[in-house]
Amino acid sequence: MSTPLAKVAVGSLGGTISMTPAASSDGIVPTLTAADLIRAIPGVAELAEVHAEALKQVASIHLGIQDLLATLAWAERQVAEGAVGVILTQGTDTLEESAFLLDLLWPHSEPLILMGAMRGAATVSADGPANLLSSIQVAVSANSRDRGVLVVMNEQIHYARWVQKQHSLSTAAFISEVAQAGTIVEGKALYFAAPPKRMLFDKPSCCSKRVLLWTNHLAEESDFLTQQDSFDPLGERFDGIVFAGVGAGHVSPVIARWISKWANLKAILVCRGTGAGSTAFTTYGYPGGEVELQQHGAIMAGFLSPKKARLLLWLILENGLAPRAAVADYLTSMSY
């Protein structure tokens, strides 16, 4: 008697992997479903029993947090029904953000894998089928358990907390800041890194908190934030503010003065302004440097990218946790 194939669930959300030329408009648009994507992979029936379901059919910038929470609930149902791994296909533009948020909420040993494509489905040498095949190979590997949310692209495996899209169009668009978690060789998932220390949060019942992300830059028009002497109306509409500072997490003196006011009322995170590395904590003492910002009440975001810091702060606030302590706990979990 042959051994039953492992069950893998694939949910499609749209993105380039699902896009083909549209008759009614220029360019490519989402058209293909999860079942369509599976049919494009030769021999997949010999690898796993695949349950394919179309969840949404949009560009990834059209997704909202409520969409991701609904997708999370769907993925959890698949695990409850016996899936050894769950794969979500979505657009790559916001894939690292989706993966990071879901990693903070995914409590299961079974891997939750996010993937997509850099070339449309009708393009010569479309990468979607190969990426999806790699994802299925990762999903059925016992060594993929207890690793949280993974991103699989271009035969590379990335942990959600470290992955970032660093090229706009290349099929080798995704990297991990501290080296990739693993790779796929001849159909087998091989890992180079131990499972990460993960920090999980309760799933929010609603999306009541709002977190603003502001990017700092040379000669910025800070009047938009600092146009009033009292706490400004923009700040009043948000529960937290994340500053994507410059360098190791620095802002202008004008913004620094306003952070001293905001930090008494809102959670303020300051992130690095580079694609890699940590914020500084004790190095720079000039106005707008991290020493002064922390004295004003700001929280330095360490290795977190601005986009991921925003999602972490949002989830911390939704859970009613103390931001300073919760961010510190998460930063501790990022290293051994």
- For CA atoms 91, 93, 94, 95, the dihedral sign is positive
**CB 209: neighbour CB atoms within 10 A?**
18
Query: If you compute the radius of gyration of the chain from its CA atoms, what whole number of angstroms results?
Result: 21
Contact between 249 and 290 (Cβ < 8 Å): yes
The catalytic residue among 16, 33, 71, 89 is: 16
Token pair for 309: 């810091």
Task: Tell me the CA distances in angstroms from 283 to 51, 276, 286, 292, 294, one per residue in order.
Answer: 53, 18, 10, 10, 12
215 labelled binding-site residue: no
36 labelled binding-site residue: no
Contact between 241 and 274 (Cβ < 8 Å): no
Contact between 171 and 119 (Cβ < 8 Å): yes
State the virtual CA torsion across 155, 160, 164, 168 in degrees, nearest 10.
Answer: 60
92 labelled binding-site residue: yes
Active site (annotated) includes residue 16: yes
Q: Up-side HSE of residue 281: CA atoms within 13 Å toward CB? A: 9
What angle do helix axes 323-333 and 306-318 make, rounded to 10 degrees? Answer: 130
Angle subtended at Cα 78 by Cα 76 and Cα 83, rounded to the nearest 5 degrees: 120
Task: Tell me the CA distances in angstroms from 199 to 86, 105, 279, 320, 326, one per residue in order.
Answer: 20, 9, 20, 16, 10
- Write the DSSP assignment of 44-109 as a string of letters: GGGT-EEEEEEEEEE-GGG--HHHHHHHHHHHHHHHHTT-SEEEEE--STTHHHHHHHHHTT---S
Query: Helix (H, G, I), strand (E, B), or coil: what is residue 292?
Result: helix
Annotated binding residues for substrate, written as ranges, equal: 60, 92-93
Residues making up the annotated binding site are 60, 92-93
Catalytic residues: 16
